[in-house]
Amino acid sequence: MKSVYDELYGRSMRDPAGFWALAAEDIHWDRRWDRVFDDSRPPFYRWFVGARLNTCYNALDAHIDRGRGKQRALIYDSPVTGTVTTYTFDELRDRVARVAGMLQRQGVRTGDRVIIYMPMVPEAVMAMLACARIGAIHSVVFGGFAANELAKRIDDAKPRLIVSASCGIEVNRVIPYKPLLDGAIALSSHKPERCVILQRPQERAPLQKGRDVDWDDAMASAPPAECVPVAATDPLYILYTSGTTGIPKGVVRDNGGHAVALKWSMQNVYGVGTGEVYWAASDIGWVVGHSYIVYAPLLKGCTTILYEGKPVGTPDPGAFWRLISQHGVNALFTAPTAFRAIKKEDPHGVHMTKHDLSRFRTLFLAGERCDPDTLLWAREKLAVPVIDHWWQTETGWPIAANCVGLGMLPVKPGSPTKQVPGYDVRVLSEDNAEMAGGQIGSIAIRLPMPPGCLPTLWNNDAGYETSYLTKHPGFYLTGDAGYRDDDGYLYIMSRVDDIINVAGHRLSTGAMEEVLASHPDIAECAVVGVADDIKGEVPVGFVVTKAGVTRADAEIVRELVEKIRQQIGPVAAFKTALVVKRLPKTRSGKILRGTMKKIADGQEYGVPATIDDPAILGEIGDALSGAGYPKKG
C-alpha cells in the first residue's frame, strides 16, 4: 500500500503543473496565472506566469482579514539585551506598513533594490516585509560582514537605499556597524542615495549629513503604505552566496513560486499548522532566516521567533530549552553545529530537565551534514523525532526531508531521507551516467526545478548556466556528493570537492567524520584531504573533545585511528588526528574545511568574510605545524 508521501511524490513527478496549481490555491492572488509553468525559454523556466500578488499581503494582511489579527506573529527574544517583545499580526502589519511608507518617503519605488545590513532585531524583519509590501527588492547582508564584501554586494545590487543599525551585539562585545558600512560605501563604485540607521542604545553611530537618516526620525512622520501587487515572476529578493571566483553570486527569488512552495512546505514538510509556534534558530542574513524565520511561518499564519543569542553562552547551554518552554515552541529548526555546541557543554543534557518541553514535538536539523551521533544524542535527550533534512541557498526550501506532514518515514541516522515532492534528484557519475545504489556520485536535480528555487542569478543569466547547469546537461548541479541506498534514501556525504582520492580510491570525508563523531569523547570534528607525494591525498582529522574529558589526547587519537581502520578500512590511510579547542566556522555554523586544507597544504588563503573568529585559523595552523604540516619537499 502506497504511503501519502509516495502518492504525492508520484503526482508531483507525473503532473508538476497540476500539483503546484493545486498548492497555489492556498495563496491570495490579485490576478491568477495565464500559465502555471512556462518552459518557452529553457533553461530559464518560470512558474505562475501572468499572475500578480503581494507577498507581504499574504504574510500579514491576509491573516488579519480572516480574523486572526490578535494572534502572536513575531516574538523577539534577545538574551544579549534582556529583551522579549511580542507583536501580533495587527501590530506587525501596522509597523511594516509604516516602514514601507518610510521607504517610499526616501524615494524607494517598485523594482528598486534595498540592502538591509542589520543585526537580529525586529526592524530588520520589518524592513524585509516592507520592501515586499511596495514591490522593492531586498538584499539582506549578514550584519557585521566585512566592508569589502559588503561593497561587492552594493556594486552588484546597486541599491537606492541601505537600511542599517549602529551596532550588533555578541555574547561579550558590541560590534559597531557604521564604520563597516561607511568603509563599504567608500570602496563601492555605486553610491546609495540614502542610508537609514537604527540607533541602538549600546552604541550610537555618527550620521553623515546629506546621506544618513536616523530611523526614528524617518519613521516619525511616515504614513502607512498599501500593498503593491507585482508579477509572480518579479524578484522578491536577492541573496548573495560566495562565488568560486571571489565575486558573490546573487541568487534571485521570485514572488509567486516562492510563496507557493514555502507555504506548502510548512504543513507538508515540517508538519506545522496555522497558529502554532515555529522557531528557526538562524540569522536573517542566511537563507534559513529568509525562508523560515520570516516568510514561510508568516505565510502559514504561524508564530515565528527572532532570537538574538547563541545556543551556549547566553547565558548557558540551556538557552534553547528556556526559549522553547517560555514561548511554547512546537518545532525547532537549527544547524547540527548548534547541537554539537550544546552537547559539548552539557553532554548529559542536564539543562533540558530544567524546562517544560511538553509542547515541543519535532527537531529539524540542516545547514551542514548531521552526523548520526549528534542526531541520536538529541533524540535520546529530547525524546522527540529528530529530522535531518537537506537544501541550499539556491533552492530556498528543502530538497530532501522526512516530510512530517505526509506521514513520517522510518528515520535512518545519517540520511535526510528522500527527495521532497517536486524534486527529481539523481546521483550521477563524471560522464553523467546514473550511479548504482550505494555508489558515491555527484548529486544533481533534473530540470525543471520546482517553484521557489532560483530562476537565475541577478543580472547574470550566463553565470547561472555556467555555475549550475553545464556540469550535468539537463540537471542542476548541487555541488554535493553522496549516494542512494536500496530503499531510496539519500545520503549527503560532503561537497564534491571533499571527496578525496587516496591512492586511486575515492573516499568520503563525511563518512570518516561520522566514525570520529561516534567516539564518546568527541563533541565535533572535521576531516580534510591533504596533499601526499605517495598517495596523492591523505585524510587528516581535527577533533574537539566534550567538556569534562580529561584523558590524554594521544590516547584518544590512537582510538580514533583504530576506529577509522576498523570501520572504513586501511585503504583510508587515516593516521593523523589533531585535538583542537575549536573548529573554524562561518557564522551560520559551516566548518571551513577548504581553508583548513589550504593551511595544511601550505597554500595561500584569504580569511573568509563569513568566518566567525579569524583567530581560530592561527590555532589550526599551529596544530598542523606541530604535526609536521605542511609537508616539505
Phi, psi at 514, each rounded to 5° = -60, -40
How far is the C-alpha of 63 from the C-alpha of 60, rounded, in Å? 6
How far is the C-alpha of 616 from the C-alpha of 581, rounded, in Å? 9
Query: pLDDT category, 504, cuts 50, 70, 90?
Result: low
DSSP strand E in 290-410: where?
Answer: 303-307, 331-334, 362-365, 386-388, 400-401
Check pLDDT > 60 for residue 479. Answer: yes
Q: How many helices (H) and strands (E) does the chain have?
A: 20, 31
SS3 content of the chain, % helix, strand, coil (to 5): 35, 25, 40
Give the pairing of strands 35-38 and 425-428: unpaired
The answer to whether residues 200 and 167 touch, using CB atoms and an 8 Å cutoff, is yes
pLDDT tens column, 209-256: 999 999 999 999 899 999 999 999 999 999 998 654 457 899 999 999
> pTM of the entire structure?
0.87
Longest CA span, the chain: 73
Alpha-carbon torsion, ordered 352, 353, 359, 360, to 10 deg: 30
The answer to whether residues 572 and 564 touch, using CB atoms and an 8 Å cutoff, is yes
The answer to whether residues 305 and 277 touch, using CB atoms and an 8 Å cutoff, is yes
Instruction: Give the per-residue pLDDT at 412.
Output: 95
| Cα-Cα-Cα-Cα dihedral sign, residues 38, 44, 47, 49 | negative
Least confident of 33-47, 306-320, 396-410, 491-505: 491-505
The answer to whether residues 541 and 574 touch, using CB atoms and an 8 Å cutoff, is yes
Mean pLDDT for 104-127 is 98
Instruction: Give the per-residue pLDDT at 347.
Output: 93
Burial (0-12, 13-18, 19+ Cβ within 10 Å), 309: buried
The answer to whether residues 88 and 69 touch, using CB atoms and an 8 Å cutoff, is yes
Query: pLDDT category, 257, cuts 50, 70, 90?
Result: very high
- The H or E element containing residue 37 is strand 35-38
Burial (0-12, 13-18, 19+ Cβ within 10 Å), 341: buried
* Amino acid at site 126: M
Question: What does the chain come to in residues?
Answer: 633
C-alpha cell of 397?
A: 526550501
Domain 503-626 sits in which CATH superfamily?
Answer: ANL, C-terminal domain (3.30.300.30)
Mean pLDDT for 301-315 is 96
Give the pairing of strands 536-545 and 522-532: antiparallel
The answer to whether residues 474 and 428 touch, using CB atoms and an 8 Å cutoff, is no
Instruction: Give the per-residue pLDDT at 246.
Output: 59
**How many CB atoms sit inside 10 A of residue 406's CB?**
21
Q: Name the nearest CA neighbour of 405 among 258, 262, 296, 273.
A: 273
Measured CA distances, 23 to 1, 17, 148, 257, 390 (Å): 24, 10, 42, 10, 22
Where are the domain boundaries for CATH 3.30.300.30 in the chain? 503-626
Q: What is the mean pLDDT of the chain?
A: 93
4-309+389-482 is a CATH 3.30.930.10 domain? no
Query: pLDDT category, 586, cuts 50, 70, 90?
Result: confident
Check pLDDT > 50 for residue 513. Answer: yes
How far is the C-alpha of 103 from the C-alpha of 63, rounded, in Å? 24
Check pLDDT > 70 for residue 506. Answer: no
pLDDT tens column, 350-379: 999 999 999 999 999 998 778 888 899 999
How far is the C-alpha of 303 from the C-alpha of 538, rounded, in Å? 48
The partner residues of 53 in beta bridges, in order of sequence, read 230
CA angle 255, 261, 263 (to 5 degrees): 95
Instruction: Give the per-residue pLDDT at 633.
Output: 47
How far is the C-alpha of 131 from the C-alpha of 142, rounded, in Å? 17
pLDDT tens column, 157-208: 999 999 999 999 988 889 999 999 999 999 999 999 999 999 999 999 999 9
Instruction: Give the per-residue pLDDT at 172.
Output: 85
How far is the C-alpha of 73 from the C-alpha of 70, rounded, in Å? 9
Q: Name the nearest CA neighbour of 351 among 306, 312, 305.
A: 312
The answer to whether residues 317 and 352 touch, using CB atoms and an 8 Å cutoff, is no
Measured CA distances, 538 to 278, 531, 625 (Å): 43, 7, 16
Least confident of 71-80, 255-264, 490-499, 533-542: 490-499
Mean pLDDT for 406-426 is 96
Mean pLDDT for 4-21 is 98
Rg, the chain, Cα only = 24
Where are the domain boundaries for CATH 3.40.50.12780 in the chain? 4-309+389-482
Measured CA distances, 132 to 60, 62, 86 (Å): 11, 14, 22
* Ramachandran category for residue 441: left, alpha or beta (phi over 0 → left; psi -120 to 50 → alpha): beta
C-alpha cell of 157?
A: 545590487
C-alpha cell of 9?
A: 511524490
Mean pLDDT for 427-435 is 93
**What is the percent of the chain where pLDDT is above 70?**
98
Check pLDDT > 90 for residue 507. Answer: no
**How many CB atoms sit inside 10 A of residue 466's CB?**
12
**Which stretches of 215-365 are DSSP H helices?**
215-220, 256-268, 287-288, 296-300, 319-327, 336-345
